Structure 1
Amino acid sequence: MAAGSTPIRGLSQLRFVSLLLVCLVVAAATTPPSFTEDIERKIDTFAKKIMTCRDIVGISMAVVSGNTTLMAKGYGLANRATGQPMTGSTLCGIASLTKAFAATLLTKLLSKSSHSLDSRVRDVLGTDFTFSDCERTRRATIRDLLAHRLGVPSNNYARMQDGLTRKKLASIIRFFDAENEFRNSFVYNNLMYGLATYISEKMGGRSWEDLLQEHIFTPLDMTSTTFTHVANLSRSDIAKPYLKFGTSWKPVSLLLHKYWGELGGSGSILSTAEDMGKWLQFQLGEGPDGTGEVLSRNSLDETHRPVSVIPESASSAQFRKPHCPVSYTSGEYALGWRRGYYRGWPMILHTGTSWGYGGLATLLPDRGLAVYTGITGRDSGYRGRRLLHMYTADLLLGVEPWLNLTTACSFLPDSRKRPRDTLYTVRPMPSPGEYVGTYGNFAFGNLTVAEDKSRLILRYGRLGKWSLAPTGRGDRFKGSAIGLVPLTLPVITFDRDSKGAVQQLQIPKFNPGNPPVFTRRLKESDAPPPQPCADDPASTGSGSGRQCRLACLLFFASVWVMTW
């Protein structure tokens, strides 16, 4: 017996050793190398190289592993005029990276209420609230808002109108018509995150800014983070946003960001590399919020869960084979986050661009790694940011980077023409007085056309001001920006009534697929009442439909019991 048991014992030992070797191999494959001075030096060199060829003035960068911020620093300049350097404590606009904060806050508030992400919008805002059609009014949920599933075009420039508060946005959202299928399309829409901001305020009973401070910034010790529409814009620690016109850099007024950010959740946060490192630790399930004070692990995972499929853009297709030796995809949208893969590893990310500010946050959750960059400048197609993140990820993953200081600039070079200061050929002005007046649109508000020294000036809210130049083609003009918004209007068309009087104007730039029509002397009080949309018992969400289904189930259950 003893002699016969030896092979069995030997086999068990062999299996144990084999299993141990497998575990060691797996551990070696999934444990990133230590963050050495050499790795940091390589990141420094690559970041500085990226700036030289991707139209970037300054970079704010954080690198995170688990519950540790490995580095938080800056490159380039925060202010070209003074030579002030960008540092880890410089405030930079993070643009649409704000959306993840908005989604996290709203998810937190919902978890403490009787509602959920699948509650209908009108269950929170009341039955007086409507979208442009009854299907969306009856069925649209908070998850639909956060995942861009409503099929309503961006209409982003409507944010320039005077008096657009979050409450008013909720009342006029019905005038923005849907152009794509409900829940079967992905149409990115900043206005819907403004609406989500208002929902948070209704649920939390306080301003969105105060709620973020209480529920996210303070628990995560993000002591420097603030908002473009709240901060003292004269602070020296705010990086100046820049855009390039031809070969010249021009600063963008911070007043533009102040007014542009008033809707909150779409893109209004100013933060530092140091604070964003803490935010990324939290998103990885690590850091100061290990107790779940900000959000439970299940709820955090819910914000990361894919909801919508994102059609692949021409730009995104360039970041996979055959154009790119490794795959970098972002084909799904969660709640304030995109989902994809890098080198086969699941990836959570979001981009952002807003008038001279830009951002990119990337998480590899299975490896416990994350990278943030905020930039000032242009960086067309997010290419510089993406390449910097891929290079940094390779170093942290312990693989040989496929990028180097040459391919940092040669891979997908920036071939798009830079905007230039617009100069138009001056043509004879049709009778200017014909066009002068106030024009209104129920969704976009009012704009005015005035005559100033024999030229026409178009004004739209506090931000938009253009000098109109006739094209020589009837009532068509071009608009050269002379206000806070550096936006050229290639075409502005005036329309006449049957008697030949100018009655309307259209600006295709505001929505190319369906340009808004502004009508002369149209008043807000002329708006039609909301379309009546009684709740459909079969509609999703809470309320009467769910109660009806419950009553039906109870009825059939009682019949079954009696007949049985």
Structure 2
Amino acid sequence: MTSIIADKVLKEKGLTWDTPIKDFYGSFKLPGAERTEQVTFKDLFAHKTCLSRSDFWWASGPDIFDVEEMMSKLQFLGEKCEFRSEFKYNNLMYVAGSHIIEKLSNKTWDVLIKEHILDPLGMTNTKTSFKEAFKTGNTLKGYEPFNGSFYELQTDADLIIDLVGQAGSVHSTAEDMNKYMRHIVENNGERYADLFWDQTAFDIGKYFGVTGQITKPTFPASSEMSDYTISWVKGQYEGEEILAHGGDTFTTHTFITLSREREYGIYLSCTGGLKARTTNQLITWFIQDMIMDKEPWITAQNICTYPSEWDDTPERDRSDPDWGLYVPDDSDTLKSFTGTYSHDIFGDVVVSFADDEGLQIAYQKVNCTLKRKKESEKEFRCHASAPSLPSDSRITQDARILNVNFEEGKLYSNMLERGENYEFNNNISPRLSLVFLLLFVPLFVMAP
């Protein structure tokens, strides 16, 4: 939806997806001169900037997420790869692009979505804000299984999504999504044809997302998501072209599949942890087989064992297989690591020491006790649970690993992102700085 309004506003202003943003928004700045001067809306919305996501900056739940401040800090994002060389998903690029569209149109993202999509299609029950959706009382509750019981998820955690709503989050109903899909499929995407069905929109890059690929003969079917377009992914199921799009909040996972050839749209939404993503995909395949008059290969017996019986490759251990190598440590020697560490994007991380517990780390609403890696004096980590999980420390299905390493007075952390290593500098307190000033000034005065 964000791409739709971006496309409309760009056309109204005589701009294209390939117009360098610097040409009309001079203050926009990303890491490196090449990115800053050449980056386009296509780069932002097709995830081709190759910059780190830094999702923990907003997903940890800051009380204030100032978009203007965010725009000024984009220049400090880590560079993951060479500009335009790979697909690297990044929510912040959608927020940035949407903010520029707001400036161009002099209208908010919420107003633009309502004006160009919701009102024309009669989607009266769709909200662009989770806060507004919760006010209606027409919202679902999510549950997470643990040890044979179900725990209610803290749905208020989804309010955090409003901080980056421009990245594509709306709170909708099956009825409203049916109106959206019907327009795209039955009217051949008349209102948004150039974004949904025009081949040039797909020739942007290869998709390396979580949907993955299944092929015969390992599986009884063939499914692949390959080309990333503006927000949507083009692929095939059993040789027939489809478009798909998935989205997650802390409590809910949604998946949409469209077929122009057979004129169908499938909308699925499940509550719960990350396994809900797989549930959506499995049910989609089942429905597609029925539409294509095929015997569904997903059945009541194998849906709960997928990917077995076809693939016995162990599922990736998201809880971190090395967790057992870390042990509690409350020795006084760790006190030397305490302090406030600062990063240009994330701001301050505070490391403190508690008797009988050891090092504590605090960032925004995340607080946890650091465990030390065996045979290492400077490497630590802790479980940082998703905001939606109940306050039961045993429930870690959707927990994330926070790595911390201390080197030469600096703190290095992945900030809950795999493959990241952000550098934080240790701040000297104002009082200590003043002491240094008082010590050095007399020396200069007394010098001959």
TM class by smaller structure: 0.7 to 0.9
**Alignment correspondent of 1:252:** 153
Aligned with 1:465: secondary structure?
strand
Q: Work out the CA distance in 1 between the residues paired with 2:31 and 2:125.
A: 40
Mapped contact 2:362–2:368 kept (Cα < 8 A): yes
1:245-297 residue CA offsets vs partner (Å, 9 max, x unmatched): 5555434333322124311222432111111111112222539xx8x6xx453
| Gap change, CA 1:333 and 1:522, over 3 Å in 2 | farther
**Alignment correspondent of 1:438:** 340
**Alignment correspondent of 2:181:** 280
Deviates most, 395-404 or 214-223: 395-404
Q: Work out the CA distance in 2 between the residues paired with 1:437 and 1:234.
A: 41
**Alignment correspondent of 2:105:** 204
Mapped contact 2:247–2:253 kept (Cα < 8 A): yes
Mapped contact 1:432–1:454 kept (Cα < 8 A): no
Q: Work out the CA distance in 2 between the residues paired with 1:146 and 1:343.
A: 28
Amino acid across the alignment from 1:489:
I
1:92-103 alignment, distance < 5 Å: 101-103=1-3
Deviates most, 374-383 or 255-264: 374-383
- Within the alignment, does 1:494 sit opposite 2:406 as a pair? yes
1:334-483 alignment, distance < 5 Å: 334-380=229-275, 382-413=277-308, 415-416=315-316, 419=319, 425-431=327-333, 433-452=335-354, 455=357, 456-461=359-364, 463-471=365-373, 473-481=376-384
1:308-333 residue CA offsets vs partner (Å, 9 max, x unmatched): 3336679623x212222222111110
| Gap change, CA 1:235 and 1:170, over 3 Å in 2 | same
> What is the Cα deviation at residue 516 of structure 1?
0.5
**Alignment correspondent of 2:396:** none
Q: Work out the CA distance in 1 between the residues paired with 2:154 and 2:199.
A: 34
**Alignment correspondent of 1:152:** 51
Mapped contact 1:228–1:257 kept (Cα < 8 A): no
| Gap change, CA 1:268 and 1:436, over 3 Å in 2 | farther
Mapped contact 1:356–1:378 kept (Cα < 8 A): yes
> What is the Cα deviation at residue 361 of structure 1?
0.4
Mapped contact 2:155–2:388 kept (Cα < 8 A): no
**Alignment correspondent of 1:219:** 120
Amino acid across the alignment from 2:104:
M
Task: Calculate the TM-score normalised by the size of structure 2.
Answer: 0.81
Mapped contact 1:104–1:303 kept (Cα < 8 A): no
Mapped contact 1:243–1:252 kept (Cα < 8 A): yes
Mapped contact 2:270–2:279 kept (Cα < 8 A): no
| Gap change, CA 1:437 and 1:265, over 3 Å in 2 | same
- Within the alignment, does 1:188 sit opposite 2:89 as a pair? yes
**Alignment correspondent of 1:134:** 33
Mapped contact 2:250–2:386 kept (Cα < 8 A): no
Deviates most, 441-450 or 132-141: 441-450
**Alignment correspondent of 2:421:** 515
Unaligned runs of 5+ in 1: 1-100, 497-502, 524-564
**Alignment correspondent of 1:532:** none
Return the match for 1:306 from 196, 202, 205. 202
Q: Work out the CA distance in 2 between the residues paired with 1:239 and 1:467.
A: 33
Amino acid across the alignment from 2:293:
G
Unaligned runs of 5+ in 2: 309-313, 390-398, 430-448
1:26-72 residue CA offsets vs partner (Å, 9 max, x unmatched): xxxxxxxxxxxxxxxxxxxxxxxxxxxxxxxxxxxxxxxxxxxxxxx
Aligned-residue RMSD, C-alpha: 3.1
Q: Work out the CA distance in 2 between the residues paired with 1:365 and 1:495.
A: 55
Mapped contact 1:441–1:522 kept (Cα < 8 A): no
Amino acid across the alignment from 1:448:
V
Aligned with 1:409: secondary structure?
coil
Amino acid across the alignment from 1:426:
P
Amino acid across the alignment from 2:165:
G
Larger Rg: 1
Deviates most, 338-347 or 201-210: 201-210
| Gap change, CA 1:407 and 1:256, over 3 Å in 2 | same
> What is the Cα deviation at residue 307 of structure 1?
3.1
> What is the Cα deviation at residue 221 of structure 1?
1.2
Among all aligned residue pairs of Structure 1 and Structure 2, give the percentage whose two residues are the same amino acid. Answer: 23
Work out which structure has the larger RCO, using CA pairs closer than 8 Å and 6 or more positions apart in sequence: 1
Mapped contact 1:505–1:518 kept (Cα < 8 A): yes
| Gap change, CA 1:316 and 1:403, over 3 Å in 2 | same
- Within the alignment, does 1:111 sit opposite 2:11 as a pair? yes
Aligned with 2:340: secondary structure?
strand
Q: Work out the CA distance in 1 between the residues paired with 2:119 and 2:428.
A: 46
**Alignment correspondent of 1:546:** none
Aligned with 1:265: secondary structure?
helix
Deviates most, 424-433 or 403-412: 424-433
> What is the Cα deviation at residue 513 of structure 1?
3.2
Mapped contact 2:414–2:421 kept (Cα < 8 A): yes
Length, aligned pairs only: 408
Mapped contact 1:467–1:481 kept (Cα < 8 A): no
Q: Work out the CA distance in 1 between the residues paired with 2:210 and 2:250.
A: 23
Mapped contact 1:439–1:522 kept (Cα < 8 A): no
Task: Calculate the TM-score normalised by the size of structure 1.
Answer: 0.65
Q: Work out the CA distance in 2 between the residues paired with 1:303 and 1:310.
A: 14
